[in-house]
Amino acid sequence: LEALIRKHRPVLVLALGQAGGRDGISLERVAINLIDARIPDNAGDQPVDIAVVDNAPNAYFSTLPIKAMLSRMIDAGVTASISHTAGTFVCNQVFYALAHLTATKHSSMRSGFIHVPFLPEQTARHPGAPSMSLESMVEAIRVCVAAAVASADDVHYAAGDTH
């Protein structure tokens, strides 16, 4: 991630991951400095109770205008919400590492993380799980990028969860 940021020098980085079971696009607000994997990752590793980055802050907030992005997605008819945790597995690890790079080495860059739901074809292995078409996900990400590029500051309205 750091090598790609150094090479391409983006003004904005939007990382994506899949959160099967969610019914729409989730704009992640907070990355925490914790890996606590309940299952092994694709390499078979299962770190428990370790920091993503040693001697770093406990958490970082997204530097993207997530409420402006949410508002634009809702206006476009996309099922979306703000999530206040990216979990403690690989997606959070990527989000935290990205946020740490933003805070410590690339302060002019803005960054954040979005979770997408299952594709319809994936739900065959997960009966009853919600899904979204690839076309809808791509359009949602386009809307998010456009909102992030257009909005230097976020909008302020209630979008918190009750759970």
Active site residues: 28, 91, 115
CA distance 132 to 90: 21
Other beta carbons less than 10 A from residue 20's beta carbon: 16
Sequence length of the chain is 163
CA distance 94 to 100: 10
Instruction: Output phi, psi for 57, to 5 deg.
Output: -60, 155
The DSSP element (H or E) to which 142 belongs, if any, is helix 134-150
CA distance 32 to 97: 10
